[in-house]
Structure 1
Amino acid sequence: MISVPGWGRADALTLEEAIRLALANNREILIAKEKVEEARQGIKEAKAGYLPRVDLSGTYTRLNEAPSMSIPDDGIIEMGKADNYMSKLSITQPVYTSGSLSYANKGASLYYQKLQEDLKSTQNKIAFEVKKAFYAVLLAQENVEVTEKALAQAKRHLAVVEDFFRVGVVSKFDLLRTRVEAANLRPDLIQARNSLRLSQESLANLLSLPSA
């Protein structure tokens, strides 16, 4: 288990959790998933070309007066109404399209399959990169721990040598050599911590975790 900035939990991150997070949140994978979904919609649109197309339209006309006819002795007879509505319904069914619908449907299906394969390939690639980044963090953490312990031990040894020097048990040369050995470990620890930080940031980026 390792510690990663942005994890947001008290417990350490396991390799299984890291891969799960990457498959769910990695930007590259999400983009590939969006493309697959768009291609799936493309298949629906291609199949819709085989279905009948229904068009419904309507018009409305308002006359100043209703149409009428004047008949002697009978007066005026209305021949219609002032408000006129007319609707039209048409159904179009593709019969022969020179194979264009078939080609469009087959092309959409093949494109969808390709993008599914691309998604799977991307998921496998990201999972492999997460494994490498995870073990890089694990190795960097161990390196920091080893260097910290070495520096702590060097400081304790230096304290003993200084006590011996004060009572004349060791020479000044031994004292200076011990001080140099302890001092040389400080930049090693700084470098180890920087390497750990960089490896953690690399993994966090793969998992799309927020920056620390």
Structure 2
Amino acid sequence: MNPARNWTLSVLALSLAGCNMAPRYERPALPVPAALPGDGAQTGAQAQEAALADTAWADFFTDDRLRGVIRLALANNRDLRIALANVEQARAQYRVRRADILPSLSASGSATYQKSPFATMGAGGGAAGGASGRTDIYSASLGVSAWEIDLFGRVRNLTRAAQEQFFAAQENRNAAQVALVAEIAGAWATLAADREQLALAHKTEATFRQTLDLTEARFRSGIASELEVRQARTSHDQARADIAQLTTQVAQDRNALNLLAGATVEEALLPDGMPAQGITLDRLPADLPSHVLLRRPDIAAAEHQLIGANANIGAARAAFFPTISLTAALGTMSLGLSNLFAGGSETWSVAPSASLPIFDAGRNAGNLRYAEATRDAMVATYEKTVQTAFREVADALARRGTIDDQMAAQTSLRDNAEGAYRLAEARFRAGIDPFLTTLDSQRSYYAAQQGLLATRLVRETNAVELYRALGGGLK
């Protein structure tokens, strides 16, 4: 076998078997309690069955119109497109860095035409190359140029860091999708609630209008006072103001939904009001261990960033040791094109070189300290991301623990307010109670209806937030 080829294969095997100077990576301990807050209502098997991260968004959200909007957003949302482009950028950078591990082969060919006044003299004094003294030289070669032999793992650690950046970009894209699905669901539910609030305001305005007309007629007959007329008008004006405000809110809700979807959402996919059966599965987890948070894409991305920073320490340490590079070529050369690949025309060259830093004014030490400080910052970032995730889940579970009681109380309040209004109106018509009692009951009933709608929205958005906080919305 050719000596140059033997030497090149030997250093290639040596570089691949080189040492790695990066610190051994260990995942930091979770800086949160071992278990998420829970009420103990479910067994471990039930909790495992109810893991929201394993529930696809198309199964978790039960309204077909909402699912249609989510599909539209996943295809058109610009933030998601940016995240996908960032993944492709990181993938390309990783491929570029990975290419440095292996030598780059290049082929070259050249032809030199030279005329000299001194011809090569042959035997008997004749010009061997012709009287003109012209020489034609042809060559072809295949070789590597300045390939770094990675004995101390510098290139491999830089490649590992680029790979982790690529993995982090993928997880950031996943996190963007999880957030988008939750934002779409929340915006859709908000639009549903505001549309129902607007319908309620229109209905109440009509009722207050009738009350005002009746009061004005009674005033003209001398039965009602001017005070009653003005109070009835106050209630009617409040309903009119609510209609104007809610009309604006509905328009803004639609604008927000269109922005999230990345396209105009057609009316067929929009809600008329809050669905009576809700928009999500009534299946929520309890008594889950904190390590389920590790499935969140943002936590996975933070860990990949930490692993990449750990690899950069290895690259910074390797800079203190010699850098060995190799330039080698294998080819052929002849004085005639027809003899270029003839026997005896082979050429080869091997040019190894080494460089050892002696004095760099602290540059390598500074780079190492920077890499270590970056690693420390990534540890803190990872731990903060875990703590933030724990707080988000804990907040959602805290709301979940009381929302059913709040719904029951708000429903009872609405029912009692309606009953009081009906009784007050009947007693007024019978001449038992004054008109102001009826008017106050009417206002209380309107406020109770508004409060119930707001509570229903809180219940739906709480389910969506818990789904997002536990990492659901990716599948």
TM-score by length of 2: 0.34
Letter in 1 for 2:79: E
Among residues 129, 140, 163, which one is paired with 1:88 in the alignment? 140
Question: Corresponding residue for 2:263?
Answer: 209
- Cα distance in structure 1, aligned partners of 2:134 and 2:217: 117
Which residue is 1:3 aligned to?
none
Structure 1 pair 202–80 and aligned structure 2 pair: CA distance change class (3 A): farther
CA distance in 1, matches of 2:132, 2:263: 73
**Structure 1 alignment gaps of length 5 or more:** 1-12
How much does 1:191 deviate? 0.8
Alpha carbons of structure 1 residues 194 and 102: separation in structure 2 relative to 1, 3 Å: same
Deviation at residue 185 of structure 1 after TM alignment: 1.8
Mark the CA change 1:177 to 1:106 in structure 2 (over 3 Å): closer, same or farther: closer
Which of 10, 17, 25 aligns to 2:76? It is: 25
In 2, Cα distance between equivalents of 1:117 and 1:45:
21
- The one-letter amino acid of 2:261's match is L
Equivalent residue number for residue 194 of structure 2: 140
Equivalent residue number for residue 181 of structure 2: 127
The Cα of 1:139 is off from its aligned counterpart by 0.7
Deviation at 1:33, TM superposition (A): 1.5
The question of whether the paired residues in 2 share the 8 Å contact of 1:60 and 1:83 is answered with no
Question: Shift in Å at residue 52 of structure 1?
Answer: 4.0
What TM-score does the superposition give when structure 1 sets the normalisation length?
Answer: 0.68
Matches within 5 A, 1:33-112: 33-60=84-111, 78=130, 86-92=138-144, 96-98=149-151, 99-112=153-166
After superposition, the Cα gap between the structure-2 partners of 1:171 and 1:34, relative to the gap in structure 1 and judged at 3 Å, is same
What is the aligned residue count?
A: 196
Rate the CA distance shift 1:81–1:56 in 2: closer, same or farther, 3 A: farther
- CA shift for structure 1 position 41: 1.6
Give yes or no for contact 1:56–1:89 (8 Å, CA) kept in 2.
Answer: yes
**Which amino acid letter does the alignment assign opposite residue 46 of structure 1?**
R
The structural deviation recorded for 1:82 is: 7.7
CA distance in 1: counterparts of 2:131 and 2:160, whole angstroms: 57
Taking structure 1 as reference, are residues 159 and 80 closer, same or farther at Cα in structure 2, changes over 3 Å only? Answer: farther
Instruction: Indicate the residue corresponding to 2:65 in structure 1.
Output: 14
For the residue of structure 1 that corresponds to 2:190, the secondary structure is helix
Deviation of 1:20 (Å)? 2.3
Instruction: Say if 2:87 and 2:166, in contact at 8 Å, map to a contact too.
Output: yes
Distance 2:205 2:139 in 1: 90
